[in-house]
């Protein structure tokens, strides 16, 4: 599958494959930086995503979402958390609050 607006092919990978890809590329550096240092990089990327969301630049938004996801995978690797397992356990059968596939929790509560 290719993206019609660019020449790069879109590679569809699972969350587990993505986390392993990030691990393969950066794990030694990430472990050396530690959880606290890695968390600060994640927060910086979230700030950049917040700025991108205020702009009308879809490509910048895409890049910042990708960066946030990569840094989330990075910190999960350093903290020895399998993201696919964590997501499946918490959300795999529906909303963790109401346990429905389409959430019916009141807007005033965080599911």
CA–CA dist 23, 38 (Å, integer):
13
pLDDT at 7: 67
Whether 50 has a pLDDT exceeding 70, the answer reads yes
Of the two residues 44 and 7, the one the predictor is more confident about is: 44
Whether 111 has a pLDDT exceeding 80, the answer reads no
**Model confidence at 5, in pLDDT bands (50, 70, 90)?**
low
CA–CA dist 83, 74 (Å, integer):
10
CA–CA dist 65, 60 (Å, integer):
9
Q: Let me know: does 16 contact 24? Beta carbons within 8 Å.
A: no
CA–CA dist 104, 111 (Å, integer):
9
Q: Let me know: does 84 contact 14? Beta carbons within 8 Å.
A: yes
pTM of the model: 0.85
Instruction: List the beta bridge partners of residue 2.
Output: 9
């Amino acid at each position: 599958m290719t993206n019609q607006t660019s020449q790069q092919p879109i590679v569809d990978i699972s969350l587990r494959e993505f986390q392993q890809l990030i691990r393969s590329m950066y794990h030694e550096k990430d472990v050396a930086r530690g959880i606290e240092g890695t968390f600060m990089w994640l927060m910086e990327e979230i700030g950049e995503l917040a700025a991108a969301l205020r702009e009308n630049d879809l490509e910048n938004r895409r890049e910042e979402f990708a960066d946030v996801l990569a840094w989330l995978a990075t910190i999960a690797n350093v903290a020895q958390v399998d993201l696919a397992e964590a997501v499946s356990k918490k959300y795999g059968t529906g909303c963790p609050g109401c346990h429905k596939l389409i959430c019916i929790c009141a807007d005033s509560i965080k599911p």
